[in-house]
Amino acid sequence: MERGSRDSFTRMGTLGIEEECFVVDDDGRPTSGTDDLVYEYDPPEILEGRLDHELFKFVIETQTPLIEDPADARETLLEIRRALVDHATDHGYRIAAAGLHPLAKWQELEHAEKPRYRSQLDRIQYPQHRNTTAGVHVHVGVDDADKAVWIANELRWFVPIILALSANSPYWNGYDTGLQSARAKIFEALPNTGMPTYFEDYEAFDRFERRMLETESIRDRGELWYDVRPHTAHGTVELRTPDGQADPEIILAFVEYAHALVEALAEEYEDGADGYGRDHRRELLDENKWRAIRHGHEASLIDREMEGTIDLGELVDRECERLGIDGIKRVYERDSGAERQRRLLEEEGPDALCESLLLGTE
């Protein structure tokens, strides 16, 4: 039974980025390609050990190497993306990204053969059989285990901000859901997902993780699929909330924001701040997440004091000023991915929509 450790938390501010993407054909439609790209053909050197498939054979995942300096995040992400696109092109595929592929119909797509996923399908059944989701995970290194748990507690309130900004999945199984991020709602049907509860300290989180493993509630710690979690193997806090994105600038805006948030919260922890996490009811955090899922860029969220509401635009302005960042402001000022998808489908049709989702590498 593989376990993480308190001793994993040794470095502050490092980064890692995981992206789930779609393997598509020449017309941009989902196709089974991960057997070829992951197993049949050797990937480019930079992708060795950093390329894997997900539940469906049309969903593929990349991981960046450890990014020591946040200034290197852009080139590292682009290098990984270029390698993936080149690898796919060499073998007759293309790569796309969104929270859900708008033309994917889960009943018509192949599941992976990997024993881990076969076990999940058998155990979870329908919610996993239909799970065609693709997201982005950002890891930020933290140099103390208790600090990491405290930061993860605090980050729960910020999760809906990132989700609302990232909303890029209005269509599921050929249907306009009326949501901005249907991915988030589809994924929440799985066990051990969504907004986590509050943990007093690392010992409390470790006790929970151990109990989940010992009671066979999960097969490995990776099946704790919450929106934010301390990663007890990598020594990071992992934010798992954004929808997949074709445009790398949007990913990099979330990376910038996640890094700035973790650094700022680390300072609060070191200064002995009480924080808000202990007083944040999960039900109210869930309400904010629902607002992000339903309304995206138009969301109004319950404020951090849980006393009133604040529009996403005003919140983005405040966060950029507070943290000295600007990426999420640029994301907010453009059309959301969900609205862009709807407009393209209505005005130009499915071919243009599929073309718009192809992975950007510049």
Burial class (CB in 10 A: 0-12, 13-18, 19+), 195: buried
Q: Which pair of tokens denotes residue 267?
A: 């300072």
Instruction: Tell me the helices (H) and strands (E) count for the chain, helix number first.
Output: 14, 13
Burial class (CB in 10 A: 0-12, 13-18, 19+), 230: buried
pLDDT at 122: 87
pLDDT at 53: 86
| Non-local CB neighbours of 5 within 8 Å, separated by 6+ positions | 232, 233
Does the pLDDT of residue 1 top 60, yes or no?
no
**pLDDT digits over 36-88, tens only?**
999 999 999 999 999 998 889 999 999 999 999 999 999 999 999 999 999 99
pLDDT class of 6 with cuts at 50, 70, 90? very high
pLDDT at 85: 98
Sign of the CA dihedral running 159, 161, 162, 163: positive
> Whole-prediction pTM value?
0.96
Tell me the average pLDDT of the chain.
96
**pLDDT digits over 276-329, tens only?**
988 999 999 999 999 999 999 999 999 999 999 999 999 999 999 999 999 999
- HSE-CB for 202 with a 13 A CA cutoff: 19
Amino acid found at 278: R
- Collapsing DSSP states into helix, strand and coil, what is residue 251? helix
Amino acid found at 347: E
Q: Which pair of tokens denotes residue 308?
A: 């009133």
Measure the CA–CA gap between 220 and 37, rounded to whole angstroms.
Answer: 25
